[in-house]
Structure 1
Amino acid sequence: MSGEHHTVTVRGIDVSSYQPSTYSANGLDFVFVKATEGTSYVNPRMTAQAAHARRNGLVVGFYHFLRPGDMKAQAAYFVEKCASVEGDPLFADWEDAGVSCAQKDAFLAEVKRLRGATHRVGLYCNLDYWKTRDTTGNAGDALWIADYVTAGRPRIKAKWTFHQHTDRPLDTNLGAFLDRAALRAWATGTTAPPSRPSPPPAATYTVRSGDILSGIAARYGTTVAKLAAANGITNPNRIYAGQTIKIVK
């Protein structure tokens, strides 16, 4: 979280068809592999890339690149085609401007419905998408944020689980876990998500176009009811751009 240091030693990379089927696993604890895109593309190296990670004892996850269209169909395609086993985290990769926040949420919900009993389901997006396109604060079970700054210090207030901090020479990530065992325990559902201090509450927040009160509440770790009561809001569905919201916990 912005402005805070965390004890994190879990490191990983993410790969797609642009990377070879085998790669150096030295110093890594996890690998996230691109599985699918839309409803017509499967990474031809996915199975080999995942198998290489498993042979090296790494935690493996998979992601689906969202494209405009039917989110339920994309979710079904993803879970059918990806080479996952029970306990592998599954992510929505939200980078296409043609995919709305509501569609992103619909995809997460459908993957959770299909595989939530055996898999963590999370969201990957960059800093701009999280701050300017997201209006609900919904990242499923885990936020994987891309922000190319100091490792472990993405410029967001929301709790994050993975931080992609550079793309040179590969997309490189840090996980908010003490060690690989803790990451694996979280992925397999035997522990709760990593605990980190909550971000310090902002005194006020200025509403931007597209904001909704529930999204603001989620970003600051509070509730719609508390924000409405503190700001004299009688209809939580009616806030306007430029309005100042007092943040209370």
Structure 2
Amino acid sequence: MLKAIDISSLQAHPDMGGVDVVLIKASEGRSYANPRRDAQEKAARDGGKQVGWYHFLWPGHIQAQAEWFVRCADPRPGDVLACDWETTTAHSAATCAEKDAFLAAVKKLCPRLRVILYCNLDFWKRRDTTAECGDGLWIADPGAAAGKPRVKHSWVIHQYGIKRGQDVDVCNFASVQAWKDWAGVPPVDEPPKPKPPTSKPYVPPPFPKGLAPGKSTPSAKPLQKALRAAGFLHISDADLSDHYGKRTEGGVSRFFDADPQFRSQGKPHDAAIGPKGWAFLFTLAYGRK
């Protein structure tokens, strides 16, 4: 089994030594975002860890919460998304139906990512009525030995205790590669390529004039849609914009990470897509049969 930790803003300097997976709190409700998110993600990725994100669910406004979660997490291909279903600081809790709706909403926003449920034994055994846990159950059972949670349902992560101020978990996978295969982490040396067309070849739209980071142009929306279709940008229709802003730049950067030949030489931080990258991205997004 793999070792993991789950962290929030309470862990200013989390100890990631000896763990394979780091699950980071991204958001809560409709307005809270983890202020340490960026630093924690950088530490995890720089350390070669597999990354997951979780959202603390509140009652009500489920679709808005799902969209807020995806916006705050800004996940990469292969990241795992989790719904944290437990009692809030107001001593309230989302219903089982709301939990199910949240899982479905996040999955619709990020259909290529694994979406799982986190809850404790009380919620799973006494409040859940559907056994709906998306793509897997993350069960909190600190009274059980690591890897032996007291549930009959299959599980993917077991939170079994606290060490040095951090929640510690084990993941029910034999190897990191098994986790990657399950989570859909893209191979580093084999980025997805368009499949050869079986009929008429796909012709991408011409590269638009005036498309550049920081500028507003109608062509920004088609770019965002193509990034979304290719799995490099997780964005709802409501968030599509004519502005080539930071979110769009992040999606383009993830595209360049997968296909670095389209990044301007000598400019590793430049998120400006050119005509060749534009054509390849649209073919990747829409040209596969």
How far 1:189 sits from its partner (Å)?
6.5
Question: Runs (4+) of structure 1 moved beyond 2 Å?
Answer: 22-25
The answer to whether structure 1 residue 158 and structure 2 residue 149 are counterparts is no
| Preserved CA contact (<8 Å) 1:46 1:83 | no
Match of 1:178 in 2: 174
Match of 1:109 in 2: 104
> What is the identity percentage for the equivalent residue pairs of Structure 1 and Structure 2?
48
Match of 1:214 in 2: none
Question: With structure 1 as the length reference, what TM-score do the two structures score?
Answer: 0.70
Match of 1:122 in 2: 116
Match of 1:13 in 2: 5
Match of 1:72 in 2: 63
d(CA) in 1 for partners of 2:16, 2:183: 19
Match of 1:143 in 2: 137
d(CA) in 2 for partners of 1:30, 1:189: 13
Find the structure with the greater CA-based Rg: 2
Pairs within 5 Å for 1:60-99: 60-96=51-87, 97-99=92-94
Q: Which has the higher helix share?
A: 2
Q: Can you list the C-alpha shifts for 1:153-212, whole angstroms capped at 9, x where unaligned?
A: 00000000000000232100000001112112211168xxxxxxxxxxxxxxxxxxxxxx
| Count of residues paired in the alignment | 180
| Preserved CA contact (<8 Å) 1:11 1:30 | yes
d(CA) in 2 for partners of 1:153, 1:133: 21
d(CA) in 1 for partners of 2:32, 2:118: 19
d(CA) in 1 for partners of 2:17, 2:125: 34
Q: Secondary structure at the match of 1:17?
A: coil
Answer 1 or 2: higher relative contact order, Cα 8 Å, separation at least 6. Answer: 1
| Preserved CA contact (<8 Å) 2:62 2:102 | yes
Question: With structure 2 as the length reference, what TM-score do the two structures score?
Answer: 0.61
